Structures are given as structure tokens and as C-alpha cells.
Amino acid sequence: MSDIQKVLDFIVEIEKLKDVHRKTRPVGLERYENSAEHSWHVCLAALMLKDSANQPVNIDRVIKMLLIHDLGEVDAGDTIIYASETPELKKKEQAGLARIFALLPEGQAEQYLSLWLEFEAGETADSKFAKAIDRVPPLLHNLHGDGHSWKENKVPKEKVFAVNRRIAEGSQSLWSLLEKKLNQAVEEGILK
Amino acid sequence: MSDIQKVLDFIVEIEKLKDVHRKTRPVGLERYENSAEHSWHVCLAALMLKDSANQPVNIDRVIKMLLIHDLGEVDAGDTIIYASETPELKKKEQAGLARIFALLPEGQAEQYLSLWLEFEAGETADSKFAKAIDRVPPLLHNLHGDGHSWKENKVPKEKVFAVNRRIAEGSQSLWSLLEKKLNQAVEEGILK
């Protein structure tokens, strides 16, 4: 099979991410978001917020990380950020990623698996920033959408603050603004 | 308003692209594709096919081009590639892009507008390749989906070949393989 044919098979396979449903609704839409359109959204969010990162980041690497960060969900499904991410689930995601990247021409898979592992570990400047950005759209969906996902999934405000505080590890200034918005949501009774 | 707040407004505004519907269905799905998930899909397609470009490309620029290439559709809507792209429509898309990029902090809009104009002109190596990749998923949707969009939109095979032949300007090897697949689709009666 030619290398290009292998990539075409990969392109068709990853399309399944368009059918993985997340737990928030995009602003103004009744339906739930899927992980493919979410991936696009966080890439542009990262690009436009890059100057707010705590440490200088390589935005091209960050974007690649975000393009692939949810691919493991094709096999593992989406898990809301407020649920515990078990080692079993992460293993399933990693196995899914390995299966999908194995469709690529020889010698390609490793670099992307390694980029995903870096993202998951969240220890480098690039991955800290990428992980921070990944949390922004669901917060905006809730803030602009009457806290629908917090309510539907019974997430108390303490958990919302505790989980999202980690945004500060990627961008202190971004977290400061979002923290204000969350406090306002508490005052307005959207977040309880 | 702080720069970060401006970007958050931008992030919410571009979310409307998730509600712009295209004319093909993703492989295996009953619903039509939206332009946000399509944008993600072509970014990863470009990344994985970069070595097939006729001329060396700056893949990071190509990905940025593809992340923003459809943003004008928030105001202008999606047009099938087989319809004539009128100057009026392009003006509407450009005005939409200008409106959306104007939400960004000062001094940001121009570089992205200029990147989009480069994409639209399709004269540089990067934009030729980006434009080629933009055509691949809809072809795969039709080839794997009984030519549904060609049939629904009454697109004859002559037009499918004529329009997609331009893929060769970005990647001759990619077009060669797709041309074979299209010929096979004609033999199978999927494309008439």
C-alpha cells in the first residue's frame, strides 16, 4: 500500500472523532459539542492566547498537540473533566492512539504518540499551556449557557474551582480573568 | 477591555462555525459535516500528507491557514466547491473575516487576513498545498458514501474531475491516487 493511501485511511479513520460527544453545548447551540470541532476550537484559542502563557511556548508544537490530543477518544470515548481519569481509561486512550497512528506510513507514529504523552504528563511549558487552553471552551460554554453542564453533571462549585485552577499552571493571567468570571457566576447563582 | 477578554470574545464568536453546514456527510454519519470539524480534519490531513507536496511547504503556516480558512463562512455561509464562487461571495467572506479578526487585540487582525488572502489566491507553495488538502475530505466522503453529495447536488463527473484536478497544483502524487479512485467510482456507477 502506498504511503499516501495509508494517510487516506488515517484521514477516514480519525473522522470518527466527529461522532464523539462531549458534555457541553457550544454557545447558542442546542446539541452537544463533538471532539473534532472542539479540537479545532482549542487550536485557534491557543494561537490567539499564546502571549498569555506563563513561559514562552512553541505555538506550532502546542497546535499539533491540540490537533491530536483527543484522538484516543475514538476508541475510549469522552470523559468529562470533572470525572476521575482512571489509569484504565488513560491506557485505553493510549491504546486507541497507538492503533490509529499505526495506520500512518512507517516511522510516523512515534513522534505523535510521544507528543500526546507529553501533553498528558503536562510537565513542559508547551503541554502546560495546551492543557490550560483545553479547559477554556467548556468554561465559556457554561458561563454563556446558564451553567448547563455543571448542573446536568451535578458538579459543585468547589470542584469547578479546584479543577480549573490548574489553568494557572499554563497561564496565570488567563486564570485570573476566568476566576473572576466564575466568582461572578457563583454570585448570579449559575454555579452552586 | 483586556487583551485576554478580547480573545475570549473571539473564541465565543468563532464558535458559530460549528453551526455552518457543509454539503457532505462524514464517513459513517447521517448528518452533514460542519465547517469547524472540517477545519480540524484538514489540518491533520495536511500534517500527515506534507511530504507529498510538490514543493517544500512550511507546514506550520499551512496549518494556520487551514485553521482560519473557513472563518468567513460565519457571515457568508458555506458554498459547495462545485458552485461558482462569485466575487460578491468572496467579498462577503472577507468582510466577515475582517469583522471577526477585529475582535482580537490591536495589531493582530492583519496577519490573519493576509494569510487568508494568500490562501484564497492560491499562488504560493503553502496555499497551493492547503487548497489541495481542503478538497480531499469531501472526495473521501463521496467515495466512501455512495457519491451522496455529487448526486444530491447533481454534479456531473466532468465537473468533479475538472474542479479536483487542481489538487495536482499542490500535490501531483495525491491527485494521481485520487484520480484513480474517481475513475474507479465512474466504473462502479457512483460517479456519473
Cα(B147)–Cα(B191) distance, integer angstroms:
6
Mutate to test the interface with B, among A17, A40, A67, A69 (most CBs of B within 10 A): A40
Interchain contact, A11 vs B43, CB within 8 Å: no
- Cβ contacts of A147 within 8 Å, gap of 6 or more: A185, A190, A191
CATH number at residue A156: 1.10.3210.10
Please give the residue of chain B at the shortest CA–CA distance from A47. Answer: B64
CA distance A122 to A148: 28
Identify whether the C-beta of residue B55 lies closer than 8 Å to the C-beta of residue B61.
Answer: no
Please give the C-alpha separations between residue B22 and each of A189, B4, B140, in angstroms, as whole numbers.
Answer: 38, 31, 14
Give me the residue from B39, B60, B108 closest to A40, CB to CB.
Answer: B39
The interface residues of chain B toward chain A in range 7-46, judged by CB-CB distance below 8 A, are: 7-8, 10-12, 14-16, 18-19, 26-29, 33-34, 36-37, 39-41, 43-45
Q: Is-contact A73 A65, C-beta < 8 A? A: no
Closest Cβ opposite residue B7 in set A29, A48, A68 = A48
A159 assigned to some structural domain: yes
- With respect to residue B32, please indicate whether it lies within any of the assigned structural domains: yes
Instruction: Please state whether the predicted TM-score (pTM) of the whole model is above 0.95.
Output: yes
**Helix, strand or coil, per DSSP, at residue A125:** helix
The CA distance from B98 to B103, in Å, is 9
Percent of chain A with pLDDT over 70: 100
Report the residue of A5, A32, A37, A177 to disrupt the B interface, i.e. the one with the largest count of B CBs within 10 Å: A37
Residue B48 lies in a domain: yes
How close A9 gets to chain B, by Cα (Å)?
Answer: 10
Residue B111's identity, in one-letter code, is Q
**Residue A35 maps to a domain:** yes
Contact partners, residue B97, CB within 8 Å, separation at least 6: B68, B71, B72, B112, B113, B116
List the single residue in B with minimal CA-CA distance to A37: B37
Give the one of B4, B14, B36 whose C-beta lies nearest to A177's C-beta: B4
pLDDT grade for B178, boundaries at 50, 70 and 90: very high
Q: Is residue B85 part of a domain?
A: yes
B192 inside domain: no
Please indicate if any CB of chain B lies within 8 Å of the CB of A110: no
Give the residue-averaged pLDDT of B51-66.
Answer: 98
SS (H, E, C) B147-181: CHHHHHCCCCHHHHHHHHHHHHHCCHHHHHHHHHH
* pLDDT higher than 90, residue B81: no
Residue-wise pLDDT for A146-168, tens only, equals: 999 999 999 999 999 999 999 99
**ipTM for this prediction:** 0.97
Render pLDDT for A45-59 as a digit per residue (tens, 0 to 9). 999 999 999 999 999
> Which chain A residue has its CA at the smallest distance from B2's CA?
A177
Distance from the Cα of A188 to chain B's closest Cα (Å) equals 20
Distance CA B151, CA B171 (A): 27
Considering only the beta carbons, identify the residue of A4, A14, A64 that sits closest to B173. Answer: A4
- Domain assignment present for residue B125? The answer is yes
Specify the pLDDT at position B22: 96
Range of the domain at B35: 3-187
User: Which of A:152-181 have CB within 8 Å of B?
Assistant: 173-174, 177
Element at A111 (helix H, strand E): helix A109-121
| Domain count within chain A | 1
* Cα–Cα distance measured from residue B79 to residue B101, given in angstroms and rounded to the nearest whole number: 21
Inter-chain CB proximity A18 and B33 less than 8 Å: yes
What phi and psi, each to the nearest 5 degrees, are found at residue B21?
-95, 135
C-alpha cell at B100: 471577526
In this complex, do B4 and A41 lie within 8 Å of one another by their Cβ atoms? no
Cβ–Cβ below 8 Å for A137 and B2: no
Rounded Cα distance between B67 and B10, Å, is 14
CA distance A126 to A118: 9
* Whole-number Å distance between alpha carbons of B53 and B14: 29
pLDDT tens-digit profile of B108-124?
999 999 999 999 999 99
3-state secondary structure A65-104: HHHHCCCCHHHHCCCCCCCCCCHHHHHHHHHHHHHHHCCC
Q: What is the pLDDT of residues A91-148, one digit of tens each?
A: 999 999 999 999 999 999 999 999 999 999 999 999 999 999 999 999 999 999 999 9
Average pLDDT, stretch B161-170? Answer: 98
Please tell me whether residue A34 adopts helix, strand or coil conformation: strand
Sign of CA dihedral B11, B13, B19, B25: negative
The verdict on residue B73 lying in a domain is yes
Are A109 and A98 in contact, with CB atoms under 8 Å apart? Answer: yes
